[in-house]
Amino acid sequence: MNKFLFALLLSIVSLIAFPAHAQEEAEEEPLAAIPAILKEAKLVNKAKPNLKAKIYFIYQSRSTCGICVSEAPTLVKEYKKMKRKGCEMVMLNIDSSPEKAAEWAKRSKMEFPVISPAVSMSCGMPWEYEGRPLLPCMVAMTPDGQKLGEAGGPDVSEFVKDWKKLLNKLRKEEAKERAAAKRAEKKNKKKKKSDEE
């Protein structure tokens, strides 16, 4: 067998035996703003943030805030539902120490990621709450940081219950964008075909 045929056969065998695995690693997609920050964030609990969520609920809170404590059970309950549907909640905790934040997260059975106090105010999150400066406060955002809504104080627990509405609205917008892209592609193909004739 000549060297060319042997090299070709070896290439085919390697493609079959090791399918595009190495190529996938080399072409890993860059993460959007929020997932990139979460990947590097120091958490006070063992939660692993979903880096592929459709919506992120960024929640600022502390254990000495009465409203925050009273709303925690609602957030924990809603998180269990939203997590399965592709949403993520992240707490930016502003307690005086990571230990206090971790203790509150454990006591309240928070399974969502809790970013330590030392990092919460400067973690790089594209977070901007525009309402009155109340605790708690929450902003719902897409992975790239587009704001979908916000709430503060006692309205947070009601706002988080609307996660399904926000997710459905986002999915409808994405479907419209895909349909518009398909129409544009079809129009371009027709134009190209008519130009060729």
Q: Where are the domains of the chain?
A: 34-196
Task: Supply the mean pLDDT for the chain.
Answer: 80
- Looking at residue 40, its pLDDT comes to 85
Asked whether the whole model's pTM tops 0.85, one would answer no
Can you tell me the distance from the alpha carbon of 63 to that of 68, in angstroms, rounded to the nearest whole number?
A: 7
Measured torsion, CA atoms of residues 58, 62, 68, 71, in degrees rounded to the nearest 10: 60
Reading phi first (left if > 0) and then psi (alpha if -120 to 50, else beta), residue 70 is in: alpha
Backbone angles phi, psi at 164, to 5 degrees: -65, -40
**The two structure tokens encoding residue 77:** 């309950």
pLDDT of residue 72 exceeding 90: yes
Sheet with 147-152, edge to edge strand ranges: 114-115, 87-93, 55-61, 137-141, 147-152
DSSP secondary structure letters along 152-169: EGGGHHHHHTTHHHHHHH
**The two structure tokens encoding residue 61:** 């809170």
Q: Residue 175: pLDDT band by 50, 70, 90 thresholds?
A: confident
Q: Which CATH architecture has domain 34-196?
A: 3-Layer(aba) Sandwich (3.40)
pLDDT of residue 11 exceeding 50: no
Number of residues that make up the chain:
197
pLDDT of residue 17 exceeding 50: no
**Residue indicated by tokens 């988080």:** 160
Inter-residue contact 172 to 61 (CB < 8 Å): no
- What are the pLDDT digits (tens) for 104-144? 999 999 999 998 765 555 566 667 777 776 789 999 999 98
Partner residues linked to 58 by β-bridges: 90, 139
Measured torsion, CA atoms of residues 40, 85, 61, 51, in degrees rounded to the nearest 10: 10
Q: Tell me what the mean pLDDT of segment 12-38 comes to.
A: 58
- Looking at residue 29, its pLDDT comes to 64
CA 134 distance to own-chain centroid: 24
Q: What whole-number percentage of the chain has pLDDT above 90?
A: 34
- Looking at residue 142, its pLDDT comes to 92
**The two structure tokens encoding residue 73:** 């059970």
Q: Who wins on pLDDT, 168 or 28?
A: 168
Backbone angles phi, psi at 162, to 5 degrees: -90, 15
- Looking at residue 20, its pLDDT comes to 46
